Structure 1
Amino acid sequence: MGPLSILNRFVSANAPLLFVLLWSTGYIGAKYGLPYAEPFTLLFLRFVLALLLLAPLVWWFRPAMAMSRRERGHLMVSGLLLHGAYLGGVFAAIKLGLSAGLTALIVGAQPLLASLAAPLLFGERPGPLHWLGIVLGSCGIYLILGGAPSVSYTLPALLAAVAALLGITAGTLYQKRFCTQHDLLAVTVHQYLPTAALFGIVALLFETREIDWTPPFVAALLWLVLALSLGAILLLTWLIKHGEASKVSSLFYLVPPVTAVEAWLLFGEPLGWFKIAGIALVALGVYLVIRRKNPMGAMG
């Protein structure tokens, strides 16, 4: 067995865990980077750099880029939802003063919304234990949120986080419905191009586009590009392609508790017993949802 086969099997077996660990750091990266640049300016830089790094990968692997205008349209819509609405909302919420942990908690309602919509869109029929897992996960999120009643926020910040929630939910379901038949690199490129254009237009119209190029900002930008825009997004695209929509969405329940621990370690955001109990409930809920043997097979 060659090195690539070993790597392929490792990533296939650990894709959900790797995705959660990488995805949760997006909120931390935003909190590190936003003191030095406005949100849409930072996002524009992130996606332009990601596209530049994707170019040699596309040249090397030569994925099938030919597709109909309708297929390109579906990819662009999914990208604007999955990246544009979601990331724009998250970065705006954190910039407006919402904590990284609370932002992650609000977006953490995504699995519940996706599970409610999946039976209608895909004919998925979750069993009783699946719904028990969803209920436990929701209770866990509530406990984590209830453990920090003194957190203050503004209405615009809250609305931005809700927009991110709706964007990631709609984007995940839309991509599962219309965009699973294409190569991962082809999907990513077609999603990033309109998203970069959107962020560039918003930054041009509403921001000063001033950047303080400090070492912390450069480090945060590189992490957002390499770990999130390349690593985590490619993993998410693969998971959506190979897994049931409701099961993939259940992984997002793990993001708030992981982010809460990271925010506690890095920024001193409080982590009391309510949050710890909530983390345990979330973990149990996700286990009940995805407890069956992984049917996804090997990556590819």
Structure 2
Amino acid sequence: MSDSPETTVWLRAMPVVFVLIWSTGFIVARYGMPYAPPFSFLLVRYICSILCFLPWIVLTRVAWPRDRAQWLHLSVTGILMHAGYLGGVWAAVKSGMGSGLSALIVGIQPVLTAIWLSWSLRGSGQPGVTPRQWGGLLLGFAGLLMVVWHKLTMGSALDHVTPVNMAFAIGALFSITVGTLYQKRFVQPCDVRSANTVQLLAAAVLTLPLAWLEPETMQWNLQLVGAMAWSVLGLTLGGSSLLYILIQRGAAASVTSLMYMVPPTTAIMAWVLFGETITVLTLAGTALTALGVSLVVRPARA
């Protein structure tokens, strides 16, 4: 049975909505980071998100995963895509790495995904990453580099690179890459609400001891409350749920290529909200990134 026109419109809009929501993550970090250590903030975010999902699941009688294997697979993806990715990015920035460099490191994800797909599908007879998609991935990364270049050359990003924050950033990169591939391979179709809850439970369990070890405490104020509210309602209930759906419905290389659009979109948001400088190089990089992503996600001709 074909999708209704309303469903078709929503499916086409879903990637755009995801990029817009996911891009606000760096904006939230700017608001909340000065008042909360990273793992404590994320632990509260996970718990609040779970408390939002649970009544929704009960009221709508959503089914939970059918067997222990699916609980395990969802837990693994939760640890990788929530605790590993978010924890790594936030910890890297908190420990002094500039947002430009952290965005560039994590931005390598689509290329790593494509390399893995090309290697894993060789000789299987299944379609891998096409030459057109490879070209789009490389264009997208070039555009990403142009977008963050001014942040990399201002000095602050490179002056505070240490083995510790570099390890956090690289850990985040591999967590989101492996998590995306793992979910596409092992996680069976499941209601996004119950699936997200299982993922968040696993992430919270791993994050709890890390938050307990942090010497800082959360300094609650209106700014931190606002950052937390959007992190829960927008980023987790909205963004993470959309990412789960996109991975289930699409090819891994196409889904991860959308991540290229996050830094350019964030740069535009920071220009609007904070008056951050947006250069001709940023605009050119944004256009190049959009072109690259379009080449990756464009369906192959029959």
Q: Shared fold by TM > 0.5?
A: yes
For residues 1-300 of structure 1, what are the structure 2 equivalents within 5 Å? 8-121=7-120, 123-148=126-151, 149-152=153-156, 153-155=160-162, 156-208=164-216, 210-292=217-299
> Given that residues 100 and 149 in structure 2 are in contact (C-alpha distance below 8 angstroms), is that contact kept between their aligned partners in structure 1?
no
| CA distance, structure 2, for counterparts of residue 248 and residue 98 of structure 1 | 27
> Given that residues 179 and 187 in structure 1 are in contact (C-alpha distance below 8 angstroms), is that contact kept between their aligned partners in structure 2?
no
Deviation, 1:254, is 0.5
Q: Deviations over 1:112-145 (max 9, x none)?
A: 1111112344644222211110111121122223
Deviation, 1:60, is 2.2
| CA distance, structure 2, for counterparts of residue 171 and residue 64 of structure 1 | 23
Helix, strand or coil at the partner of 2:190: coil
| CA distance, structure 2, for counterparts of residue 188 and residue 6 of structure 1 | 27
| CA distance, structure 2, for counterparts of residue 215 and residue 268 of structure 1 | 21
| CA distance, structure 1, for counterparts of residue 26 and residue 8 of structure 2 | 29
| CA distance, structure 1, for counterparts of residue 198 and residue 113 of structure 2 | 24
Helix, strand or coil at the partner of 2:220: coil
Aligned to 1:298: none
Q: Deviations over 1:243-295 (max 9, x none)?
A: 001100110110111112223333444432322221111011001111228xx
> Given that residues 37 and 214 in structure 2 are in contact (C-alpha distance below 8 angstroms), is that contact kept between their aligned partners in structure 1?
no
| CA distance, structure 1, for counterparts of residue 271 and residue 101 of structure 2 | 12
Relative to 1, partners in 2 of residues 1:131 and 1:113: Cα closer, same or farther, differing over 3 Å? same
Relative to 1, partners in 2 of residues 1:146 and 1:72: Cα closer, same or farther, differing over 3 Å? same
Moved over 6 A (4+): none
Question: Which TM-score applies when normalising by structure 1?
Answer: 0.89
> Given that residues 28 and 100 in structure 1 are in contact (C-alpha distance below 8 angstroms), is that contact kept between their aligned partners in structure 2?
no
RMSD, matched Cα: 2.0
Count of residues in Structure 1 that have an aligned counterpart in Structure 2: 289
Relative to 1, partners in 2 of residues 1:181 and 1:145: Cα closer, same or farther, differing over 3 Å? same
| CA distance, structure 1, for counterparts of residue 66 and residue 120 of structure 2 | 24
> Given that residues 148 and 263 in structure 2 are in contact (C-alpha distance below 8 angstroms), is that contact kept between their aligned partners in structure 1?
no
Relative to 1, partners in 2 of residues 1:61 and 1:9: Cα closer, same or farther, differing over 3 Å? farther
Q: Deviations over 1:134-187 (max 9, x none)?
A: 111121122223333123232233332222111111111111111132221221
Give the letter for the 1:52 counterpart. L
**Gap runs ≥5 in structure 2:** none
Helix, strand or coil at the partner of 1:147: helix
Deviation, 1:6, is 7.5
> Given that residues 101 and 263 in structure 1 are in contact (C-alpha distance below 8 angstroms), is that contact kept between their aligned partners in structure 2?
no
Relative to 1, partners in 2 of residues 1:66 and 1:83: Cα closer, same or farther, differing over 3 Å? closer
> Given that residues 49 and 237 in structure 2 are in contact (C-alpha distance below 8 angstroms), is that contact kept between their aligned partners in structure 1?
yes
**Gap runs ≥5 in structure 1:** 294-300
Helix, strand or coil at the partner of 1:58: helix
Deviation, 1:8, is 4.3
> Given that residues 70 and 188 in structure 2 are in contact (C-alpha distance below 8 angstroms), is that contact kept between their aligned partners in structure 1?
no
Relative to 1, partners in 2 of residues 1:66 and 1:162: Cα closer, same or farther, differing over 3 Å? closer
Relative to 1, partners in 2 of residues 1:56 and 1:188: Cα closer, same or farther, differing over 3 Å? same
Relative to 1, partners in 2 of residues 1:158 and 1:151: Cα closer, same or farther, differing over 3 Å? farther
| CA distance, structure 1, for counterparts of residue 119 and residue 66 of structure 2 | 28
> Given that residues 83 and 203 in structure 2 are in contact (C-alpha distance below 8 angstroms), is that contact kept between their aligned partners in structure 1?
yes
Question: Which TM-score applies when normalising by structure 2?
Answer: 0.89
Give the percent of matched residue pairs that are identical in Structure 1 and Structure 2: 41
Relative to 1, partners in 2 of residues 1:258 and 1:101: Cα closer, same or farther, differing over 3 Å? farther
| CA distance, structure 2, for counterparts of residue 263 and residue 251 of structure 1 | 19
> Given that residues 118 and 124 in structure 1 are in contact (C-alpha distance below 8 angstroms), is that contact kept between their aligned partners in structure 2?
no
| CA distance, structure 2, for counterparts of residue 286 and residue 247 of structure 1 | 8
